[in-house]
Structure 1
Amino acid sequence: MAEVVWLTAKLAGVTTLLLLLLATPLAWWLARGEGLAREVVGALVGLPILLPPTVLGFYLLIALGPESPLMAPLQPFGVRTLAFTFAGLVIGSLVYSLPFAVQPLRNAFQAVGQHNLDAAATLGASPMAVFTRVALPLSLPGYFVAAILTFAHTVGEFGVVLMIGGAIPGETEVLSIKIFHMVEALEWRQAHLVSGALVGFGFLVIVAMLLLERRMARAARADD
């Protein structure tokens, strides 16, 4: 069980770190951009929320399979497929949890007062300096929200993980899959213990979110 817990935490941690990096420029553009393209991209980002996980997992399985054109550049290096590997799980988790990282960051960036950005630009700051020295510090609460949601959402994945990773012990068998196998084997006590732990984890995540939102609201009132 320790191996399963470690693999789940590893997957959630790697996914969270990568998504915070990847989602930052995307969320900034969605928050500050204009035009139809922004709305189309925003819809695509939010699509994993509405799609059944098995549908998303099915297309990811095809995209990362040995017959996929996306895998052709890796075949000279001996990599024919990323399906049923930890790397494949990470890619699937990045896609599935993308909206849970992008949307909080987008909201945080939108909440940054335009007057703050304009003031920094007036003082001669470059666009990168405006972002790193003004927008980024003011948006840190959004990063905490995005990190919490992404980590928790990745821990709870089932459909995408099952489709793209299967259940290879030590490689792709995470907690959600382990519970499924426990139920199949009629190991009710073990399933109760693991499921109860995840319920407690989810409760703590919600409490943390509520406390963080309260703190953000107080900070916003103080700034006003």
Structure 2
Amino acid sequence: MADLLQPFVLSLQLAFVTTLLLFIISIPLVYAIYFHSGPTKPLLKAIVSMPLVLPPTVLGYYLLIFLRPEGWLGQLSQQLFDIRLVFSFPGLVIGSLIFSLPFMVNPILSAIENLPLSYKEAAYTLGKSRWNTLWHVLLPNVKSSVVVGLVMTFAHTIGEFGVILMIGGNIPGETRVASIAIYNEVEMLNFDNADLYAGILLAFSFVVLLIVYMYQNQRPQGVI
């Protein structure tokens, strides 16, 4: 039973770490994009949203090349921290951060962009800086979108496959998350275990979406 649960424990650990780090990373990114008024703003949005349309295997391939031990980042990580980035949990975290980035940034950014401009203008009138305006005025008015971003990022990380397989492989207790475990069981023709893993992930996905839509349905009218 412990061996069967291990992939789910690893998936939950990866999803928790990824969601926490992405929340920390995404707020400055939202700030940079929202307050940027130059012609490169669409470029910034395109870069953030690229994982939505880029095939996971393509992203995983480039990450594998970028993080390999022969690369500068792989060598730096090995020399400074004695951490191998490919076929390891830290590598999965890096891949998950990039692959799930738009699921955190886009809901928050879209909600803020749909707020009335009077919110920002009133904050400026009161002498608020851009950062204070974002943190104390704009974000509190899009709390529901922040929650949706957190939940969707967590759920999306749980279901990752292509990127994880490319940069993490299938190492028990290290990189074999739940989605990889299904692939592994099917390869070994253990369809009973594959059915169990797939059924749990199916139920989890449905529950997550149900919670998100119920939360959105119950929020007060006019709240983004």
With the length of structure 2 as denominator, give the TM-score of the two structures.
0.91
* C-alpha distance in structure 1 between counterparts of 2:111 and 2:35, whole Å: 11
| TM-superposed deviation, 1:141 | 1.0
> For residues 129 and 61 of structure 1, do their structure 2 counterparts lie closer, same or farther at Cα, with a shift above 3 Å needed?
same
* C-alpha distance in structure 1 between counterparts of 2:121 and 2:81, whole Å: 51
8 Å CA contact 2:7, 2:173 repeated in 1: yes
| The one of 119, 128, 132 aligned to 2:122 | 119
| The one of 19, 24, 41 aligned to 2:22 | 19
* C-alpha distance in structure 1 between counterparts of 2:98 and 2:78, whole Å: 23
> For residues 129 and 87 of structure 1, do their structure 2 counterparts lie closer, same or farther at Cα, with a shift above 3 Å needed?
same
In structure 2, the residue matched to 1:175 is 178
In structure 1, the residue matched to 2:51 is 48
Query: Does 2:90 align with 1:87?
Result: yes
| TM-superposed deviation, 1:75 | 4.0
In structure 1, the residue matched to 2:221 is 219
SS at match of 2:87: coil
Query: Does 2:133 align with 1:158?
Result: no
| The one of 39, 45, 53 aligned to 1:36 | 39
* C-alpha distance in structure 1 between counterparts of 2:39 and 2:152, whole Å: 28
| TM-superposed deviation, 1:80 | 6.8
The answer for unaligned runs of 5 or more in structure 2 is none
| The one of 102, 108, 111 aligned to 1:108 | 111
SS at match of 1:220: coil
What fraction of aligned residue pairs are identical, expressed as a percent? 42
8 Å CA contact 2:31, 2:134 repeated in 1: no
In structure 2, the residue matched to 1:146 is 149
SS at match of 1:66: coil
* C-alpha distance in structure 2 between counterparts of 1:100 and 1:208, whole Å: 16
| TM-superposed deviation, 1:177 | 0.6
* C-alpha distance in structure 2 between counterparts of 1:46 and 1:128, whole Å: 23
Code of the residue aligned with 2:221 in structure 1: it is A
